Structure 1
Amino acid sequence: MQTPLTQTVSEDDTASAFYQDMLRSLIAAEIPFMVGGAYAFSHFTGITRPTKDLDLFILRNDFERLTESMKPYGYETELTYPHWLGKIHSGEHFVDLIFSSGNGIAEVDQNWFRHAVPAEVLGVPVLICPIEETIWSKAFIMERERFDGADIAHLIRTGSAGMDWQRLLQRFDPHWRLLFSHLVLFGFVYPDHHNLVPHWLMNTLMERLRAEMESGPAAEHVCQGTLLSRAQYLPDIERWGYRDARLLPPGTMTAEDAESWTEAIEGRGDKQD
């Protein structure tokens, strides 16, 4: 769905002015970026919803150069979580600079940019994150307070015809079971649209599942739930002796990354019901 994205991210005009200036400043500094979050979702689905900030996706290697290029504009940056997120501040307002996902899986690379979609945000010509990578990154969000499954269903419903399903499958490997779960859920949500998912893809995933079921269980005592929720599978790691699938190797996060991300959980240490 090709529509200009002219909604404001805040009722506060100073916030909108900051976001517009931020976009123009990055373009002037020749820092590659893509707009994601609510704007990308609106672009592909036509569904708009209020959002309190602006999500910009960049290459990790560009963060330091971006930091230097923003100094003449008076903007302060911080590397909030070294494994996936930085921020640009202007008073009480901020922009998220995303170069991976909280679990360290959906790292932004050049293929994001090769398949990015031209659009307009707040009157500024920009690139929008590709629908395939948007689905890939959202698929892992299964926190107690947030589940992006509905977003994925809406993205498939409106964007299936133009999607590169083969690339989407490649993005999920070796986490193909997660993709399969979202595609099965899509058929449940939209019984009259299940054929929007290619038959070859469903057959491929069913064959993988069948082959896995006929093989023995994995030898490693690992919990991959931490790839889906930073909070809900901590008992598995802390009490039951499972290895954290996020950690090197074969994950991408250091123990320090995981610890800092865990410490940021709201209410960490408080009683949970």
Structure 2
Amino acid sequence: MAAVFTGHAPDDEIESDTAGFYRQVLQTLAGDGIAFMVGGAFAFAHHTGLHRDTKDLDLFIRRADFERVAALMNRHGLHTELTFPHWLGKVHQHDRFVDLIFNSGNGLSPVDDDWFAHADESQVLGETVKVCPAEENVWTKAFIMERERYDGADVAHLLRACAHRLDWMRLRNRFGPHWRVLLSHLVLFGFIYPAERGLVPPWLMHELMDRLRHECQTPAPPTDVCAGTLLSREQYLTDTREHGYVDGRVPFGTMTDQDVATWTQAIPHRS
């Protein structure tokens, strides 16, 4: 069951011209039968009931559908670009845009059939749409640990709101070899909400802690990888550039060296 909204939905305060553009994109995709899901602030509100202002619309699609989406939008007078080939495109109308997302920025979370199989349905801008599953929301947000953006609070709110309906085994499997990231958020959840730490299944905590204990009793792997780049595209560059570590995004994810270079070049300049 979806969360009950508190306050206004994210689409309540979107100006009418922008809402019309978003609605046009949603209706165009639905009319052509292209599978998509709504994410971002809309999905977060759907799962948690927590509202935040949004300046864009995040749509999740399969990478294999991007060229079809681009051609469709162009036929309807909208400009589409493949902004970052490893994870993100955009649909433009003047100064407005819609994000077309088919992976995560670190290349770990490609949109696959499982996203669609477990998606919810909701109303966005008066349209009935699929919404990204709670498990995938937790999975992707768990890796966002930039200096300027940390999604740990979003993860905690999602866990609190959705604990009783989460498929915890599927969530665990999504993290795969990166289970330490999941464990870190579950430990913090018990710190943030001491009285609600029981919302996390004991079997999962025991399993992950057993993995941790086993690792502590075995020799460290002979690797020169820095996996910190999966958490922040900027804060671990000194390790890969100056200390000889291999960028974890290439062996662990779907990014190429060129993807890494392009994504790094796009880091906002801060004086």
TM range (shorter): over 0.9
Pick closer, same or farther for the CA change 1:36–1:11 going to 2, 3 Å: closer
1:12 is displaced (CA, Å) by 2.6
Asked whether the 8 Å contact 1:10–1:52 carries over to 2, the reply is no
After TM superposition, the runs of 4+ consecutive aligned structure 1 residues lying more than 6 A away are none
Match of 1:105 among 103, 108, 125: 108
What residue is the counterpart of 1:33 in the other structure?
36
- Rounded Cα–Cα distance in structure 2 between residues aligned with 1:209 and 1:37: 32
- Cα deviation, residue 118, structure 1: 0.7
User: 1:198: Cα distance to partner?
Assistant: 0.1
Q: Paired residue for 1:12? A: 15
What letter is aligned with 1:260? T
Cα 1:7/1:246, change in 2 over 3 Å: closer
- Structure 2 regions of 5+ residues with no counterpart? none
Partner AA of 2:268 in structure 1: E
The answer to whether 1:156 aligns with 2:156 is no
5+ residue gaps, structure 1: none
Give distance in 2, aligned partners of 1:142 and 1:219: 26
Q: What is the alpha-carbon distance in structure 2 between the residues aligned to residue 94 and residue 9 of structure 1?
A: 18
What TM-score, normalized to structure 2?
0.96
Contact in 2 for aligned 1:77/1:86 (Cα 8 Å): yes
Could you tell me how far apart the structure 1 residues matched to 2:69 and 2:253 are? 27
Q: Tell me the equivalent position of 2:263.
A: 261
Q: Deviations over 1:113-150 (max 9, x none)?
A: 00000111010000000000010000000000010000
Distance 2:143 2:66 in 1: 24
Shift of 1:252: 1.5
Question: Which amino acid is the alignment partner of residue 209 of structure 1?
Answer: L
Distance 2:48 2:262 in 1: 34
Corresponding residue of 1:91: 94
- Percent identity at matched positions? 54
The residue that corresponds to 2:60 in the other structure is 57
- Relative to total residues, which structure has the larger helix share, 1 or 2? 2
Query: Equivalents in 2 of 1:10, 1:74: separation in Å?
Result: 26
CA positional deviation for 1:231: 0.4
Counterpart of 2:50, as a letter, is: I
- In the alignment, what sits opposite 2:254? 252
Q: What is the SS of the residue equivalent to 1:86?
A: strand
Q: Which amino acid aligns with 2:148?
A: E
Distance 1:11 1:66, change over 3 A: closer
Give the match for residue 178 of structure 1: 181
User: Which amino acid in 2 is paired with 1:133?
Assistant: E
Aligned counterpart, 1:119: 122
Matched letter for residue 34 of structure 1: M
- Check if 1:222 corresponds to 2:225: yes
Distance in 2, Cα, partners of 1:17 & 1:67:
19
In the TM superposition, 1:167-206 aligns within 5 A as 167-206=170-209
| 2:51 is equivalent to residue 48 of structure 1 | yes
Cα deviation digits, residues 185-242 of structure 1 (max 9, x gap): 0000000000000000000000000000101012011100000000000000000111
Aligned length: 268
1:140 aligns with 2:143: yes
Alpha-carbon distance in structure 2 between the residues aligned to 1:250 and 1:129: 23
Partner Cα distance (2:42, 2:89) in 1: 19
Contact kept in structure 1, 2:84 and 2:262, CA below 8 Å: yes
* Shift in alpha-carbon separation, 1:86–1:225, aligned structure 2, 3 A: same
With the length of structure 1 as denominator, give the TM-score of the two structures: 0.95
